[in-house]
């Protein structure tokens, strides 16, 4: 497969997003496997290039992504304004330009100019000042591509943790975990493991909602009424699903290493063990979208922004995963396209053949 075009949204320009992106792209081998497209402005990119001490890093300035330079880092100038960067600080300005960058990259995804998108971290408070009415990238992209259900999936090598509920106050989680919701997320996870990760028969574990998976109903009944029936129903349909498991014991005993995917019921139940195990190399992947989107598993890191201390490991893995998933989807589509039509010969009687 030819090289894929990978879009990179700027994220919060006061944070470390562009720093880790540029540190990743400074490795010349990256240009052999993809064509990077940064959505920002050349001035803002140059500012962060200087922070990262990458004086020799060059890029191609473009007004649009219609004619990319395949052997260069491309910067699509989404704005011409002189932006006041207040590094490491929350500001309305950073929210405004993060939104502009994301919108342009999303439009180019729809137009087919880029094959996948890696989103640099945003600050939700800054985004709210820019009339960004979504909890995060996942919900924004689901809305823009008219997808009713998507799946937030955290990935680090063979560890893949999906969430039934995303950015939801803890007091609202129990009522949001319904049988229909769990089934929908389970189907998305199963399909993603096949289509995006190339696993033919994925094994999936479902975590319980309550401590100790309710201890047989002593600590709640969601496992008996909702989650266990989903497991039984899924098995009848041929899915390789197990659970519900007690979340602490499941990760603590190492059972997570025996499955291809894990479905957690809420944000911290899945992300705390994931981030404890991923050592800063985790990736946030949105499954269930018609496009490929990944993101590093860290935030804007205002506390170290501008100090050239940000580790690009997670962003690098997000870039690699975007490339891999884009290629896996192409292979999956090719494998599941209409089979070659064959002429069937039926023998009627000796010496007579009908096509």
CB atoms within 10 A of CB 34: 21
The dihedrals phi and psi of 192, each to the nearest 5 degrees, come to -65, -40
- What is the torsional sign of CA 287, 290, 295, 299? negative
Query: Is 331:198 a contact under the CB 8 Å cutoff?
Result: yes
Flag the least confident range among 154-158, 190-194, 210-214.
210-214
For the chain, give every domain's residue range: 1-147+289-355, 149-284
pLDDT at 342: 42
Phi then psi for residue 203, to 5 deg, are -105, 125
Cα–Cα distance between 75 and 20 in angstroms, integer?
15
How would you classify residue 308: left for phi > 0, otherwise alpha for psi between -120 and 50, otherwise beta? left
**Which DSSP category does 223 fall into?**
I
Distance CA(278)–CA(250), nearest Å, equals 16
- The proportion of the chain whose per-residue pLDDT surpasses 70, expressed as a percent, equals 95
- Is the pLDDT at 331 greater than 80? The verdict is yes
Question: pLDDT tens for residues 68-80?
Answer: 999 999 999 999 9
Alpha helices in 40-91 (DSSP H): 42-51
Please state whether the predicted TM-score (pTM) of the whole model is above 0.85.
yes
CATH number of 149-284: 3.30.70.580, 3.40.50.2000, 3.40.50.720, 3.40.718.10? 3.40.718.10
CA distance 335 to 319: 25
Please give the structure tokens belonging to residue 117.
Answer: 């998108």
Burial string for 137-153 (b: 16+ CB within 10 Å, else e) reads bbbbbbebbeeeebbbb
Query: pLDDT for 8-48, tens place per residue?
Result: 999 999 999 999 999 999 999 999 999 999 999 999 999 99
Q: Is-same-fold flag (1-147+289-355; 149-284)?
A: yes
Report whether 205 contacts 262 (CB < 8 A): yes
Domain 1-147+289-355 sits in CATH 3.40.718.10: yes
- R_g (Cα) of the chain, nearest Å: 23
C-alpha span between 18 and 25 (Å, rounded): 10
The answer for residues whose C-beta is within 8 angstroms of residue 192's C-beta and 6 or more apart is: 151, 153, 261, 287, 288
Query: To which residue do tokens 């309305």 refer?
Result: 92
Over range 227-240, report the average pLDDT.
Answer: 96
Mean local confidence (pLDDT), 324-345: 76
For residue 194, give every residue at least 6 positions away whose Cβ sits within 8 Å of its Cβ, in sequence order, or none: 200, 202, 332
User: Tell me: the pLDDT tens digits for 234-274?
Assistant: 999 999 999 999 999 999 999 999 999 999 999 999 999 99
pLDDT at 346 over 70: no
Residue 102 CA from chain centroid, whole number: 14
- Say how many residues make up the chain: 355
């Amino acid at each position: 497969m030819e090289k894929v075009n990978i879009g990179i949204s700027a994220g919060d320009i006061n944070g470390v997003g562009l720093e880790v992106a540029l540190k990743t792209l400074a490795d010349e081998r990256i240009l052999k496997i993809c064509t990077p497209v940064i959505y920002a402005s050349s001035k803002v990119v140059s500012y962060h290039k200087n922070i990262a001490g990458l004086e020799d890093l060059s890029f191609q300035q473009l007004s649009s992504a219609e004619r990319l330079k395949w052997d260069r880092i491309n910067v699509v100038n989404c704005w011409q304004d002189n932006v006041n960067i207040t590094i490491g600080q929350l500001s309305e300005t950073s929210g405004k330009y993060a939104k502009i960058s994301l919108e342009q990259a999303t439009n180019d995804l729809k137009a087919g100019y880029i094959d996948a998108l890696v989103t640099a971290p945003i600050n939700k408070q800054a985004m709210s000042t820019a009339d960004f009415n979504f909890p995060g990238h996942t919900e924004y992209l689901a809305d823009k591509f008219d997808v009713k259900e998507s799946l937030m999936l955290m990935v680090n090598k063979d560890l893949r943790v999906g969430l039934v509920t995303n950015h939801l106050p803890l007091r609202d989680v129990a009522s949001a975990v319904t049988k229909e919701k769990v089934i929908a997320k389970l189907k998305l996870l199963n399909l993603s493991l096949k289509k995006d990760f190339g696993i033919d028969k994925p094994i999936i574990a479902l975590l319980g909602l309550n401590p100790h998976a309710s201890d047989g109903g002593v600590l709640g009944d969601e496992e008996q009424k909702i989650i266990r029936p989903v497991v039984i129903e899924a098995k009848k349909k041929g899915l390789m699903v197990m659970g519900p498991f007690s979340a602490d014991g499941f990760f603590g005993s190492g059972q997570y290493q025996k499955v291809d995917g894990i479905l957690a019921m809420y944000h911290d139940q899945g992300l705390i063990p994931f981030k404890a195990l991923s050592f800063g190399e985790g990736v946030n992947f949105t499954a269930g979208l018609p496009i490929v989107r990944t993101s590093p598993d860290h935030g804007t890191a205002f506390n170290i922004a501008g100090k050239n201390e940000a580790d690009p490991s997670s962003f690098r893995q997000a870039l690699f995963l975007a490339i891999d998933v884009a290629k896996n989807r192409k292979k999956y589509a090719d494998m599941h396209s209409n089979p070659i039509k064959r002429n069937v010969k039926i023998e009627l009687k000796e010496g007579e053949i009908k096509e």
